[in-house]
Amino acid sequence: MSQSLLTVAPSPHIHTELTIPQVMRGVIIAMVPALLVSVYNFGLGAVYVTGLSILFCAGAEWAICKFLLMREPTITDGSAVITGMLLAFNVPSNLPWYIILIGSLVSVGIGKMSFGGLGNNPFNPALVGRVFLLLSFPVEMTSWPKAVATWSLDGTTGATPLGILKDGLRAGETVPALMQQMPSYTDFFFGFQGGSLGEMSAFALLIGLGYMLYRKIITWHIPVTMIATVFVMTGIFWFIDPTRFASPLFHVLTGGVMLGAIFMATDYVTSPVSHKGMIVFAIGCAVLTVLIRLFGAYPEGVSFAILIMNAFVPLINKYLRPVRYGANKSRQPKVGSQQFEQGKRPVTSN
């Protein structure tokens, strides 16, 4: 080749292979086990809702780019597919198509594109859509199909474990009595419970977490801290009064804690950038979740908790900065200090 054709560019000259499309693909792969559990539990309903949601979200992003923003559609980065999947994961598997459409438009249109697209949205788009739907269609959004594999679209519906708990406690029953009506913890763990499409199985979600950690897509800080804080905090209440408060294991395995901690709170865009910030953020998500669950009007609070903490992210990023090299004065020994004099001794080890 001719020498004059050599590329000249500043260093570094190599780049990691983990780029945005790879990251997004990785997240999608990590969500597959949870989706499979859902398909096993709900049959066609899960496929139908997830498929529509992805289609609507990607379509909305494409149309907004093409006709409103007049720029190259950005759906190839894969983030719209994730928003679609996450939105589907957060709704019941028998949701009518028009509600999914509205949810998708709110998620992508208001939640993401109105701020300038990927990277600029302050709130998790899927949760924006989910909460919008929860407030607008409270009946449809809380009639959960029973977790029995059925390949027809109209199964029977029932309440979630958290719903049974909240209603029962309100009616004056005790936790141990209510637990009699619920599936076992093993069932919770593997996903034989009522609830949103993607939050069925802690087991499947943990497989996804393991995969994302292995691929170094996310770090442990947010999911582990959030789950652990929920466990500890509900544990304290449970310890104080086990008749009024359910066990920590129950709280961790039911509802959206796993889904939220692993897939929603870890969203790059809407979570803090430093490890310290991530831990504070995750603790905040967990505390709010528990407060809403135990003392609020809703049986479940993960979505609200994460959205509220999303709003604090800029503040967290501003105040919780990484430790700078050289900032720790104890690592700058003064001449004559003991640490310094260590060097003077002849090395005697071996």
Partner 1 sequence: MKNRAFHKELKTFRLGGVHPQDNKLSASAPLAQLPLPKQVTIPIIQHIGAPAKVVVQRGDTVKVGQVIAQHEGFISSNIHASCSGRIGIIEEVMDSSGFKHLAVNIRVKGDDWLETIDRTDTLVEEITLSRDEIVARVMEAGVVGMGGAGFPSHAKIKVPEGKTIDTLIINGVECEPYLTADHRLMLEKPREIIVGVRILMKALGVSRSIIGIEDNKHDAIELFEELLHEDKQIEVQPLEVQYPQGGEKQLIQALLNREVPSGGLPADVGVIVHNVGTTFAIYEAVQKNKPLVERVVTVTGKDVKQPSNFWVRIGTPVIELITAAGGLPESTGKVVSGGPMMGKAIADLEVPVAKGTSGILMIAQAETKRAEEYNCVHCGKCIEACPMGLEPYRLLLLSKAGQSEKSKRENVLDCIECGSCSFVCPSNRPILDYIRLSKTKVKKLK
The continuous run of DSSP H or E covering 158 comes out as strand 157-158
In whole angstroms, how far apart are CA 43 and each of 130, 170, 190?
A: 22, 33, 16
Closest to partner 1 by CB, 177 vs 327, is 327
The contacts of residue 329 (CB under 8 Å, 6+ apart) are none
In the chain, the amino acid numbered 322 is P
Closest to partner 1 by CB, 19 vs 174, is 19
Closest to partner 1 by CB, 93 vs 266, is 266
Closest to partner 1 by CB, 294 vs 320, is 320
| Minimum CB distance to partner 1, residue 260 (Å) | 19
Closest to partner 1 by CB, 216 vs 244, is 216
| Minimum CB distance to partner 1, residue 258 (Å) | 22
| Minimum CB distance to partner 1, residue 320 (Å) | 11
| Minimum CB distance to partner 1, residue 317 (Å) | 8
Closest to partner 1 by CB, 67 vs 325, is 325
Long-range contacts of the stretch 152-156 (C-beta < 8 A, 24+): 152/43, 152/44, 153/44, 153/45, 153/48, 153/94, 154/94, 155/42, 155/45, 155/94
| Minimum CB distance to partner 1, residue 347 (Å) | 5
Closest to partner 1 by CB, 24 vs 253, is 24
| Minimum CB distance to partner 1, residue 145 (Å) | 35
Residue whose token pair is 């499409």: 197
Cis peptide bond N-terminal to 242, omega within 30: no
Q: Which residues bind partner 1 (CB under 8 A)?
A: 1, 3, 6-16, 18-20, 22-23, 77, 116-120, 219, 268-269, 271-275, 278, 317, 321-328, 331-333, 335, 340-341, 343-348, 350
CA distance 171 to 342: 70
User: H helices within the chain, ranges in order?
Assistant: 20-42, 44-63, 79-89, 97-104, 125-136, 138-141, 161-170, 175-179, 185-190, 202-214, 221-240, 248-253, 257-259, 275-295, 302-319, 338-341
| Minimum CB distance to partner 1, residue 172 (Å) | 47
Q: Is 117 left (phi over 0), alpha (psi -120 to 50) or beta?
A: left
